[in-house]
Structure 1
Amino acid sequence: MNYFEGLEFFLFLLIVLCGGFVLNFFGKKKEVYILAISLIFAGTIYGQSKKMVVYLVAFIIYQYLLVMLSNRLEKKWLKTLSLLSVVPLVINKIFAITSLHLMAFIGISYMSFKTIQIMIEISDGIIKEKYSFLDYLQFLLFFPTVSSGPIDRSRRFFDDIKTIMPREAYLELAGTGVYRVVLGLLYKIMFSTYVYQMLSALKNTGTLTYSVKYMYLYTLYLFFDFAGYSLMAVGTSNILGVQTPMNFNKPFLSIDIKDFWTRWHITLSTWLRDFVFSRVLMNAMKKKLFKSRLQNASFAYMVNMCVMGFWHGLSISYVIYGVYHGFLMAGFEWYQKKSKFYKKNKNKTWYKLTSWFVTMHLVFIGFFIFSGEPLKLIMSILKR
């Protein structure tokens, strides 16, 4: 069994959601119930591999100790603690490309970012209360979002978990949740499966025509698969009375690359904006790494998107994908600030349509890189 996969999971999920609905409908506290269910899911899914259980338990204890230290140590220790927090993730990514698979367990990327968020906000004085071990466990193992997000924020999450919603407001949220779960199932089971079958049926001819077809189909598959999972995760959270943030907002209507990253994998891009981009930019301006704010911002975009690429993995395709989007974001920043043509035409309909078309194809090329298919094509050409 795995999260949001297989008949066994969904049958158990149905029972769990019925229990959650009853608790919320009658205005009862839900945090103990949700923690218990999350632990049952984790025990069942992670328990399929002894190594995975050992890695998970070691990771949770290690990270919680770092959170406790961030409560006690001065702010100057934040960088050290953050680096220590990301060590298990780095080990995971390094050994993911080998047969050893050290620190390999479901959700390590998302759990790492959740932990770093807590430590940074404690250091910034935004989080003033001390989280107990059970609180931390609740946040980390909240079962709808363990495997593939969305990446929630701890303060928002605990507000929801500990709040008893008025019945009318809850029923509206639960209704929305049911709709999202059904739509997510449609995306993931029907649409993504259909597109994947078309993708699998493509014959690798090594031509431009094949590459273009693969690029479009892979983008559609990636969207329906990931957006479908995210919708089910958010919908499940809603039925439990938790308003987990949405991860997608009509990304194929984006009119520029910045607009795209406010619509695609929203919780990841906002996490990176808040905890990587803004801090790199402030640090670069403080140390006067470059002469102008625009140059500092371009540097911050490059770092931000490279971190995004490495977060996905250390394969060449992911690294190039991050660098590619770094150049796109930095380039568009320059274009926005320096181009008179942009300032003169940005609100005109023809310009928006042209910008949309160009943006979408830049995004499609990015996903083509992400898929790893270009490297396969290059290798096949070299072999010939």
Structure 2
Amino acid sequence: MINLQPYQNPQYFILLLVALLPLMFGLYHGHRWRIYESFVSLLFLFFIFDAEKTNQGIALIAYTVIQTLIVKCYFSYRTNKKYNNSFWIFTLAIVLSILQLVIVKFTPLFAHGHDSIVGFLGISYLTFKTVGMIMEIRDGAIKEFNLWKFLHFLLFFPTISSGPIDRYRRFIKDYDHVPSQDKYVELIGKGLHNIFMGFLYKFLLGYLFGTLWLPQIQQLALAQRHTVPFGISIYLIGYMYCYSMYLFFDFAGYSLFAVGVSYLMGIETPVNFNKPFAAHNLKEFWNRWHMTLSFWFRDYIYMRFVFWAMKHKLLKSRIAMANIGYLLLFLTMGIWHGETWYYIVYGLFHALVLILTDAWLRFKKKHRQHIPSNWFTKYFAIFMTFNTVCFSFLIFSGILDKLWFN
């Protein structure tokens, strides 16, 4: 059987192009054929969850029904003036919305490594979408709920497996609007460019770093774990850089495919990466790396916690509240990646470095006349940020667990 998992092989792209041609023809002539677009989405979702992944497909169907009921019920409650829009009802909606994801994330911890039967590919990204909607409904930003549009937003197949994470209002604005012919031609050009860049990133550079080089370097690093202190060898350092490059090119490649295909469908899905290794500090890095995820965590966890803490005057110092917000944010992000110690340490490491980064930026602003700023300091900052990020990816990779505990 041909593997038709998202963006895995040439057959998938050929079938995708054939399926999208009628839709592209319609968009070029000013028509969005929504029924056909929905058919294509369902077809490719079927390809993702066929055969041995049938159980995941069933879990997706159940998840979609549950999330639709949660969002619809909360929207009806929030827009009904008879009710006082209780914070506890809002909290209940959030808890119910993330419940299936929590079960999936923590099942391996209590079931000896077995995956949850309610999990499926892309459950995290779909949950981020629905939680974001619930929060925006509470804010009064979402004024209407349309079942058809909600389902299309939630199950938009180009982004289901690896993101980017879109926002409902932004998505629906594109979905309701048919771009002009000139605009759509521009989107086609950008879409094809992203797709070909995705081929370069994932199938060439990602293959070189992840398939050809990384296993060999890992084997050499593990072979020396008993001959050097703490297993820190030149091969481990090489593994750190090789893994970081693989992680970037593989993930950025997937994101480029998703954005490119979205453009061909007339949806300007936000980009996910913007030269992250050119960042001058870790704060800037998170404004460039997996941007839709980092912005989601920033807007819906960090900012809301800080505003809530300020409103209730938990601490007098805004700096202290911001620092606690960083710890909460990245601890949550670490646990989201997995319940193992190295994901949690990865998150706490980023929180600590961000706290230090903020302290340095405040000091730099206060003493700017005494701190040099030139091409050397600029590139030195990039160099230090790059190595800090690569070290965090070394933690994230889990190889230290193999070196020290196996």
What TM-score bracket applies, with the shorter chain setting the length? over 0.9
Q: Distance in 2 between matches of 1:304 and 1:266?
A: 15
The equivalences for 1:148-159 within 5 A come to 148-159=162-173
Residue of structure 2 equivalent to 1:122 = 137
> 1:91 is matched with which residue: 103, 109, 117?
103
C-alpha distance 135-75 of structure 1, shift in aligned 2 (>3 A): farther
2: CA distance between counterparts of 1:346 and 1:38?
54
Which aligned pairs between 1:249-328 and structure 2 lie closer than 5 A? 249-328=274-353
Are residue 8 (structure 1) and residue 11 (structure 2) matched? yes
> Partners of 1:343 and 1:41 in 2: how far apart?
58
Q: SS at 2:56's partner residue?
A: helix
Deviation of 1:84 (Å) = 1.4
Q: TM-score, normalised by structure 2?
A: 0.90
Aligned counterpart, 1:139:
153
Q: 2:63 aligns with which of 59, 63, 69?
A: 59
Structure 1 residue 17 displacement after superposition: 2.6
Q: Rate the CA distance shift 1:167–1:12 in 2: closer, same or farther, 3 A.
A: same
Question: Could you say which residue in structure 2 is the equivalent of 1:28?
Answer: 31
> What runs of 5+ residues in structure 1 fail to find an aligned partner?
none
Tell me if structure 2 keeps the 8 A contact 1:294–1:334: no
2:185 is equivalent to residue 181 of structure 1: no
Which residue in the other structure is 2:392 paired with?
366
Name the SS of the counterpart of 1:128 in structure 2: coil
Q: How far apart are 1:337 and its partner, in Å? A: 2.2
CA contact (8 A) 2:49 2:57 kept: yes
* Cα 1:215–1:280 shift into 2, 3 Å: same
Deviation (angstroms), 1:100? 4.2
Rounded to whole Å, the distance in 2 between the matches of 1:23 and 1:75 is 45
What do the CA deviations read for 1:33-56 (whole angstroms, capped 9, x no partner)? Answer: 322211111122213223212211
Unaligned runs of 5+ in 2: 78-84, 226-231
Deviation at 1:179, TM superposition (A): 0.8
Decide which moves more: 69-78 or 52-61: 69-78
Residues 347 and 102 (structure 1), Cα distance of their counterparts in 2 relative to 1, 3 Å cut: farther
Contact kept in structure 2, 1:96 and 1:102, CA below 8 Å: no
Is this contact kept in 1: 2:198–2:253, CA < 8 A?
A: yes
Instruction: Tell me, in whole angstroms, the C-alpha distance in 1 between the residues paired with 2:372 and 2:64.
Output: 48
Please say if residues 31 and 161 of structure 1, whose CA atoms lie closer than 8 Å, have aligned partners that are also in contact. Answer: no
What is the one-letter code of the residue matched to 1:81? A
Contact 1:30 1:161 in 2 (8 A): no
Q: Is the 8 A contact 1:251 1:260 kept in 2?
A: yes
Q: Name the counterpart of 2:81.
A: none
Q: How many residues align?
A: 379
- Would the aligned equivalents of 2:23 and 2:32 in 1 still touch at CA under 8 Å? no
Deviations 1:238-285 (A, max 9, x none): 111110000000011000011000000000011111111100101111
Answer yes or no: is 1:18 the counterpart of 2:18: no
Q: Give the superposition deviation at 1:311.
A: 2.0
Q: What's the CA shift for 1:146?
A: 0.3
| Residue 344 of structure 1: how far off its partner (Å) | 4.4
Say if 2:56 and 2:117, in contact at 8 Å, map to a contact too: no
Correspondence for 1:226 = 251
Q: Over residues 306-349 of structure 1, what are the superposed CA-to-partner deviations in whole Å (9 max), with x where a residue is unaligned?
A: 12212222222222111111111122122222454567437433
Paired with 1:290 and 1:327, the residues of 2 have a C-alpha distance of 19
Q: Which residue of 2 aligns with 1:213?
A: 238
Displacement of 1:67 after TM fit?
A: 0.2
The superposition leaves residues 48-101 of structure 1 with CA deviations (integer Å, 9 ceiling, x where unpaired) of 223212211111111111101211332522122111111111111112452142
Q: Distance in 2 between matches of 1:240 and 1:149?
A: 16
Q: String of CA shifts for 1:203-259, please: whole Å, max 9, x gaps.
A: 222242121000000000001100001001101111111100000000110000110
Confirm or deny: 8 A CA contact 2:56 2:119 kept in the other structure: yes
CA contact (8 A) 2:107 2:115 kept: yes
> Which of 24, 37, 40 is the equivalent residue of 2:40?
37
CA gap 1:267/1:199 in 2 versus in 1, 3 angstroms? same
The answer to whether the 8 Å contact 2:201/2:249 transfers is yes
Name the amino acid aligned to 1:68: K
> Would you say the 8 A contact 1:302–1:327 is kept in 2?
yes
- Tell whether 2:213 aligns with 1:201: no
1:104 and 2:119 matched: yes
Residues 195 and 100 of structure 1: is their aligned pair in 2 closer, same or farther, counting only changes over 3 Å?
Answer: closer
Larger mean CA deviation between 84-93 and 316-325 belongs to 316-325
**CA deviations over 1:79-128 (Å, ceiling 9, x no partner):** 22111111111111112452142322000000000000111101100000
- State the identity %: 36
Equivalence for 2:263: 238
Preserved contact between residue 176 and residue 235 of structure 1 (Cα < 8 Å): yes
Evaluate the alpha carbon distance shift between residue 100 and residue 181 of structure 1 in structure 2; reply closer, same or farther with a 3 A threshold: closer
